[in-house]
Amino acid sequence: MRVAVVALGKIGLPLAVQFADAGHDVIGVDVNPMTVKAVNAGSEPFPGEAHLQEKLSELVPAGRLRATTDYAEAIPGAEAVVLVVPLFVNDETWEPDFGWMDAATRSLAEYLTPGTLVSYETTLPVGTTRGRWKPMLEEISGLEEGSDFHLVFSPERVLTGRVFEDLRKYPKLIGALSEEGARRAREFYEAALQFDPREDLPRPNGVWDLGTAEAAELAKLAETTYRDVNIGLANQFALFAADNGIDVYQVIEACNSQPYSHIHRPGIAVGGHCIPVYPRLYLSTDEDAEIVRNARLLNASMPERLVKQAEGILGSLEGLRAVVLGAAYRGGVKETAFSGVFATAEALRSRGAAVQVHDPLYADDELRGLGFEPYRLGGPADLAVLHTDHTEYRALTPAELPGVRLLVDGRAATDPALWAGVPRIVVGQGGNAKAGVTS
């Protein structure tokens, strides 16, 4: 098949590589000429994706994968077009911002030719595929969906860093606007993906047709919103536990020993491209979902809550040297999308602290580019806030933060034995019944 992939980001490029590796002729479109240049040189434009570089080194020289900035070069004659263009959410209104996706859809529609399957993989509010993309594609192309071309929603369900593994592990969900579109989508993805056997699933791993685009849209929103709500519940338990001298991690372990309980871990922040964003996309079409809204608000409040606890212990943060440990939104991943580091640093600055940030994955200049003053272990510090559960921080000691008077461990990642004698606030642990301090 001739396949076009629109947007060669951290999901789109591995998808393009997967399709090419399955034997198809793939061309990627991206608005960034530097990304296109890197791909055509067989070089990964971003680090950290397992097996991406080795596959690029094989597929690009073989002529199976190439990239362009020109839709006119990529779209005409493609049997399948897959879009993975980012969808943003307004931080103030929580409303989706379709700017980039609208632009990509218009450009695609200008060059759409009969017989093409168009698949959107970007997570969308329920009803978007049918109510927004279908009329836009039809109006601009002059073609009719269901006869001239076919439209499907098939959400990506992968994590950056392990995209190829996840593509094999999880069923590929599809939801089309017609029976023929569903048939075409099933044929395409079965010819482009391979699936690991999984005995834990109610039916064989593979392409799962959910019957409608709306069902597939809701499935992606629901599986991610569930995680945010679950973490919100864990954080609620953690706050209560800390106030009452209880170790919430023992409680969660005990609860989850029963097969109907699956409580997640609490933490200082929920970051990344997905979990903080998709509940807001869900709320854009179901504004009565108070459970979803309250969980999102609670999770977003955790940096402020923990910094306020630190202020209660130290009396004042004015003029103190505060170090935030970890800029990445999760351990081992060099990515700051919706990372809690920004809210944590702001909560410290608003109380007069001088804030520096450390992250083993980021160079000093990269941290400065994010708006932070870099910190190097061994420099003086009064207060440390562990934001990211990098493996390197598990063996951290007070000696590496000379002068530290308090550690706020927002991930329960440090070793209490190594911090004997130094007060610690550990999210969800309550050595001190009111402040959650252990030593």
Query: Could you read off the pLDDT of 249-305 as tens digits, one per residue?
Result: 999 999 999 999 999 999 999 999 899 999 999 999 999 999 999 999 999 999 999
**Percent of the chain beyond pLDDT 90?**
95
CB 415 within 8 A of CB 392: no
Last residue within a domain, chosen from 187, 212, 237: 212
Task: Give the pair of three-digit tokens for residue 159.
Answer: 């994590």
**pLDDT over threshold 70, residue 437:** no
pLDDT at 216: 98
Side-chain-side CA neighbours of residue 437 (13 Å): 18
> Residues 270, 380: one domain?
yes
Partners of 209 in the β-ladder: 174
**Is 66 domain-assigned?**
yes
> Residues 110, 205: one domain?
yes
> Residues 203, 105: one domain?
yes
Residues 67-119 have pLDDT tens digits of: 999 999 999 999 999 999 999 998 888 999 999 999 999 999 999 999 999 99
Instruction: Give the H or E element holding residue 226.
Output: helix 213-243
**pLDDT over threshold 70, residue 432:** no
CA-to-CA separations, 109 to 27, 112, 157, in angstroms, rounded: 17, 5, 26
What span, in angstroms and rounded, lies between the C-alpha atoms of 336 and 352?
Answer: 24
Residue numbers of the domain that contains 311: 246-438
**pLDDT over threshold 70, residue 434:** no
> Residues 172, 253: one domain?
no
Q: Using 50, 70 and 90 to split pLDDT, how confident is the model at 435?
A: very low
**pLDDT over threshold 60, residue 370:** yes
> Residues 296, 192: one domain?
no
What span, in angstroms and rounded, lies between the C-alpha atoms of 317 and 338?
Answer: 25
Number of H helices, E strands in the chain: 15, 16
**Is 61 domain-assigned?**
yes
pLDDT at 35: 98
- Among all residues, which ones are annotated catalytic? 220, 274
pLDDT at 90: 87
CB 387 within 8 A of CB 410: yes
- Cβ-based neighbours of 144, under 8 Å, separated by 6 or more: 138
Residues 203-248 have pLDDT tens digits of: 999 999 999 999 999 999 999 999 999 999 999 999 999 999 999 9
pLDDT at 431: 60
C-alpha triplet 332, 92, 359: angle, nearest 5°: 20
**Is 426 domain-assigned?**
yes
> Residues 94, 158: one domain?
yes
The count of other CB atoms within 10 Å of the CB of residue 90 is 11
31 in helix, strand or coil? coil
At residue 228, what is the residue type?
Answer: D
> Taking residues 333-344, what's their average pLDDT?
95
> Taking residues 125-137, what's their average pLDDT?
98
> Residues 162, 266: one domain?
no
> Residues 189, 282: one domain?
no
Residues 149-170 have pLDDT tens digits of: 999 999 999 988 899 999 999 9
CATH of the domain at 94: 3.40.50.720
For 205, list phi and psi in degrees, rounded to 5: -65, 140
**Residue at token pair 């093409």:** 116
How far is C-alpha 218 from the geometric centre of its chain's CA atoms?
17
How many residues in the chain?
439
Q: Using 50, 70 and 90 to split pLDDT, how confident is the model at 366?
A: very high
Q: Using 50, 70 and 90 to split pLDDT, how confident is the model at 24?
A: very high
Closest CA to 72 of 29, 13, 118: 29
**Is 227 domain-assigned?**
no
pLDDT at 433: 29
**Is 238 domain-assigned?**
no
> Residues 266, 129: one domain?
no
How far is C-alpha 381 from the geometric centre of its chain's CA atoms?
31
pLDDT at 291: 98
